[in-house]
Amino acid sequence: MEGTWGLPFWGATMLFLGIYSTMMLNVSDYSRELKKGTGPGLLTILYAMSILPCTLFMGLIGLMVSGATGVSDPIQVFANAVDNTPLLVITLLFIAFAQVTTNVLNNVVPPTYILMDVFKLKFRTSTILVGLLAFCTFPWELVKDESSAGLQLFVQIYSAFLGPIFAVMVVDYFILRRRTLDLDKLYDENGPYRGVNYGAVLAALAGAAVALTFSSVSWYASLLPAGIIYYLLMRHWQPCRRFHP
């Protein structure tokens, strides 16, 4: 298979990061559910021994099959190329299970928590509402071959806004606050973190403007401008001093 390490490669990896940036920004929705005693070593072992091999195996199979047949949809390829009916059923069940677990992790939990926080809904009610709203987006239309260009453009556009937010969070936590946060005051409505950090808003908007200019690599293009602008504003702009550690 012919390929390139140029802009098309980075554009393809950007689409992957754009899709998973929602989970990256909402990782606290998962980490806050961890129980004491669950160390990173155990979690890494569980991930490396279960999820990672399956993900790499399916990705490798999809890559080889797509290269051999020219068809990018693995479900269509398996349905037409596999003669063994039990093997075909097992494979398709595995793909269906992977879709369910991935969507629950990436696309259900974050919006569920948001609806719970904004509208004070119960977890079950919020989850059902998220499922109904997802159904109203007609996902079966989005995955058609003729919709691929529009879906790619959609990911590029919303990634232009998620990339700057990621950059602001990284600069704020690792550089400005040096990985130190007062967790009790973080959730205090009258604490030092209350209100709107206009420096973060301006930096995110500036990063999004740069990203939209380079839409094919929007997520990457937004990181450096947003991070630098946020750092400078927090250091030198007076309205941001209240949020400065």
Task: State how far the Cα of 131 lies from the Cα of 125, in Å rounded to an integer.
Answer: 10
Query: Looking at residue 27, what is its pLDDT?
Result: 80
Q: Give 161-179 pLDDT, tens digit per residue.
A: 999 999 999 999 999 999 9
Query: Looking at residue 204, what is its pLDDT?
Result: 96
Query: Tokens 């690792």, residue?
Result: 174
Quickly list H helices, 47-180.
52-69, 74-81, 85-103, 109-119, 123-135, 139-142, 148-170
Query: Looking at residue 142, what is its pLDDT?
Result: 78
Closest residue by Cα to residue 239 from 208, 203, 209, 207: 203
Query: Looking at residue 201, what is its pLDDT?
Result: 95
Side chain identity at 7, as an amino acid letter? L
Task: State how far the Cα of 96 lies from the Cα of 185, in Å rounded to an integer.
Answer: 42
Query: Looking at residue 39, what is its pLDDT?
Result: 66
Query: Looking at residue 38, what is its pLDDT?
Result: 62
Query: Looking at residue 28, what is its pLDDT?
Result: 80
Query: Looking at residue 162, what is its pLDDT?
Result: 92
Task: State how far the Cα of 51 lies from the Cα of 27, in Å rounded to an integer.
Answer: 18
DSSP code of 35? P
Compute how many other C-beta atoms are within 10 angstroms of the C-beta atom of residue 40: 8
* Sequence-distant (≥ 6) Cβ neighbours of residue 15 within 8 angstroms: 152, 155, 156, 159
The residues of the chain scoring below 50 in pLDDT are none
